[in-house]
Amino acid sequence: MGIFILIALLYLFRLFYLQVIDNSYKFSAENIVLRTITQYPARGLIRDRNGNLMVYNDAAYDLMVIPRQAKNIDTLRFCKLAGISIEEYRVQIKKAKNYSWYKPSVFVKQIAKEEFGKLIEELYQFPGFYAQSRTLRKYPLPIAGHLLGSIGEVNRREIEKDGFYRASDYIGKSGIEKYYENYLRGEKGSKLIEVDVYNRNQGSYQDGKYDTLAIPGKDLILGIDADLQWYAEQLMQNKKGSIVAIDPQSGEILALVSSPCFDPNLMIGRKRSENYGALLKDTLKPLLNRAIGGTYPPGSTFKMINALVALQEGAIVRSTEFSCKGPLTKPIKCTHNHITPLNLDDAITQSCNPYFWNTFKSILTNPKYKNSHEGYQAWYENVVSFGFGKKFKTDIPFEVSGNIPTKGYFDKVYRGSWNALTVRSLAIGQGEILVTPIQLANMVAIIANSGFYYKPHFLKQMEDVDSLKTKYSTKINTSIKPKYFEIVKAAMIEVFEGKHGTARWYKMDSISQAGKTGTVQNPHGEDHSLFIAYAPVDNPQIALSVIVENGGYGSKWAAPIASLLIERYLSGGTKRINVEKRMIEGDLIHNTD
């Protein structure tokens, strides 16, 4: 009995101490609760190469609910303040209850600060509801939607993959936002607050003793030039196609345009799902990133590759001549009549199809190989050294590899019985060859550098993370000797400078340019207009590819667009107002004349 009495006295004394003497336990479950508020970090900012802000954060709020506490409220008034319908209220409260009666969940997502002002003033009248601060991504300029990407709510698979995320968190879904998610997202913090029965914040629990600070995400500086990106999108409006511009001295992507494009501001906030659905249904496919995901036959732009391979393999020399009978030539005809016979320089300037058919045939029938199949294998190995037929595997998400057909592919298709004539379309960049616009731009950078390249990439600099940048600084050499590139470069200069150059109308006195036109056959309509170029000739600072789908000859649309971009990047503006006006106002989507 004495033991039991002693234990009872100890319990009574402890209860007296907790309820009367110790103030830290004075709060009862009826009038005070503690709530853990997740402190979401500010997502890292994204700037262009010149420090211009491309993506920043703006305040937003999630309206949270604890179903067990959400009782006896004026539903109509609540819906009016929250900007939702009664039907939406019923759906969301049901979802919240299915998730948990006791745990908080998001009731209304991403309420902009402008809409939130009225709600927060009266939120205390609605028990069970409280606000949690978040941030929305904002874009000062409506450009670069494809490359910047977007963020969205995590799904179950993403939560299971990474314990950092909880339901209703946000994650990078595409583009730069996705690739650099682990750096941009920062680290969460938490705050313990006291809340009374009226849902009113009573301040931090024990003066924030148990709070942890959120750590902001790291800022990115991209190689993108925002002004060039904006100008390129202006030139490509009402056209389908792409533009990729690269700094050949670093591999940094200066501009990446897929047209039609979209305003990245459409992919934020409460309207994201609705806008995404509309873009997804658009028959022009604005969500398709043609610059890295579109594949095209390279057409005449590929003739320089065949010329370089032939020179490397000793199949031709610079002075080698072949004759051309224009449209009457067989087995591959020329698009026009010109001087004949012609050497390599003239063939590039005139973009002569028969010349490059004979060049390609000379590679495959080279006497140093046993047969044309061995000659083809040598051609293939040289071609893929330019980065064709494979992914760059840098920070370019969702890129595709394109296609350079292997010897094994033709062995399978033709059961081992094939020769140069069978695969002659490859001589002029047609047939089974498929390349992406970014691979074409990289090819130009290689030519500008006389045989080497740095893998194309977006990142220029990241706060406190130098290792990411250094992995893109490795120089990659092709299999072609540098001396052969000088021959091709001289011919590309004549495309602008020569009397018969296919881009002579876009020559500039102040800036030296080198380029090559391409007209790609399209079985579904008008041919595609292609152009590749670099400038200045003596110190290349920009290399680019331009593809205008259904644009016809390369000199009609792609060449002037490329030349305007070169002028804009190197001089900050353009003097050729009439050419600029024609390109910007040109409509190849709604006007087929």
Q: How far apart are CA 559 and CA 564, in angstroms?
A: 9
Q: How far apart are CA 134 and CA 110, in angstroms?
A: 7
Q: How far apart are CA 542 and CA 246, in angstroms?
A: 6
Question: 497 and 348 in one domain?
Answer: yes
Within-domain flag for 179? yes
SS3 92: helix
Q: How far apart are CA 205 and CA 194, in angstroms?
A: 6
Q: Which of the listed residues 222, 237, 258 is the one where a domain comes to its end?
A: 222
Q: How far apart are CA 350 and CA 246, in angstroms?
A: 26
Question: Does pLDDT of 288 surpass 80?
Answer: yes
CATH number at residue 151: 3.90.1310.10
Within-domain flag for 284? no
Lowest mean pLDDT among 15-19, 245-249, 269-273: 15-19
Q: How far apart are CA 297 and CA 434, in angstroms?
A: 5
Q: How far apart are CA 553 and CA 273, in angstroms?
A: 39
State the amino acid at position 136 in one-letter form.
L
Q: At 491, list the tokens.
A: 């011919």
Within-domain flag for 281? no
pLDDT tens, position by position, 354-386:
999 999 999 999 999 999 999 999 999 999 999
Within-domain flag for 468? yes
Provide the CA 47 distance to its chain's centre, in angstroms: 15
Total domains in the fold of the chain: 2
Lowest mean pLDDT among 115-129, 143-157, 305-319, 379-393: 115-129
Provide the CA 519 distance to its chain's centre, in angstroms: 26
Within-domain flag for 28? no
Q: How far apart are CA 144 and CA 111, in angstroms?
A: 25
Residue whose tokens read 């313990």: 192
Question: What integer pLDDT is reported at residue 204 of this predicted model?
Answer: 79
Counting every residue written for the chain, the total comes to 593
Do the beta carbons of residue 558 and residue 529 sit within 8 Å? yes
Question: 93 and 156 in one domain?
Answer: yes
pLDDT tens, position by position, 203-255:
777 777 888 888 999 999 999 999 999 999 999 999 999 999 999 999 999 99
Within-domain flag for 172? yes
pLDDT tens, position by position, 146-160:
999 998 889 989 999
Question: 408 and 547 in one domain?
Answer: yes
- Whole-model pTM: value is 0.86
Q: How far apart are CA 208 and CA 201, in angstroms?
A: 14
Lowest mean pLDDT among 31-45, 94-108, 220-234: 31-45
Q: How far apart are CA 444 and CA 448, in angstroms?
A: 6
Range of the domain at 332: 226-275+289-585
Question: 196 and 79 in one domain?
Answer: yes
Q: Which of the listed residues 185, 202, 222 is the one where a domain comes to its end?
A: 222
Pick the more confident residue, 59 or 233: 233
Within-domain flag for 22? no
What does DSSP say about strands 32-39 and 201-204: parallel, antiparallel, or unpaired?
A: unpaired
Nearest partner of 41 among 221, 219, 240, judged by Cα: 219
Provide the CA 270 distance to its chain's centre, in angstroms: 23
Question: What integer pLDDT is reported at residue 201 of this predicted model?
Answer: 64
Q: At 471, list the tokens.
A: 């992995």
Question: 239 and 122 in one domain?
Answer: no
Q: How far apart are CA 263 and CA 167, in angstroms?
A: 27
User: Which region holds residue 241: left if phi is over 0, alpha if psi is between -120 and 50, else beta?
Assistant: left
CATH number at residue 348: 3.40.710.10
Question: 146 and 162 in one domain?
Answer: yes
Question: 198 and 231 in one domain?
Answer: no
Within-domain flag for 359? yes
Question: 212 and 243 in one domain?
Answer: no
Cα-Cα-Cα-Cα dihedral sign, residues 338, 343, 347, 349: negative
Q: How far apart are CA 325 and CA 331, in angstroms?
A: 11
In 137-193, alpha helices (H): 145-148, 156-161, 175-179, 181-184
Which residues are CB-contacts of 475 (< 8 A; sequence separation ≥ 6)?
452, 453, 454
Kindly report the backbone phi and psi dihedral angles of residue 41, in degrees, each rounded to the nearest multiple of 5, phi listed first.
Answer: -75, 155
Question: 474 and 458 in one domain?
Answer: yes
Q: How many CB atoms lie within 10 A of CB 484?
A: 18
State the amino acid at position 260 in one-letter form.
P
Using only the alpha carbons of the chain, give its radius of gyration: 32
Question: 245 and 173 in one domain?
Answer: no
Q: What is the DSSP letter of 457?
A: B
Contacts of residues 159-164 at CB distance under 8 Å and 24 or more positions apart, as own/partner, are 164/188
Do the beta carbons of residue 248 and residue 453 sit within 8 Å? yes
SS3 187: strand
Question: 235 and 215 in one domain?
Answer: no
pLDDT tens, position by position, 170-197:
899 999 999 999 999 999 998 887 776 6
Question: 230 and 204 in one domain?
Answer: no
Provide the CA 134 distance to its chain's centre, in angstroms: 25
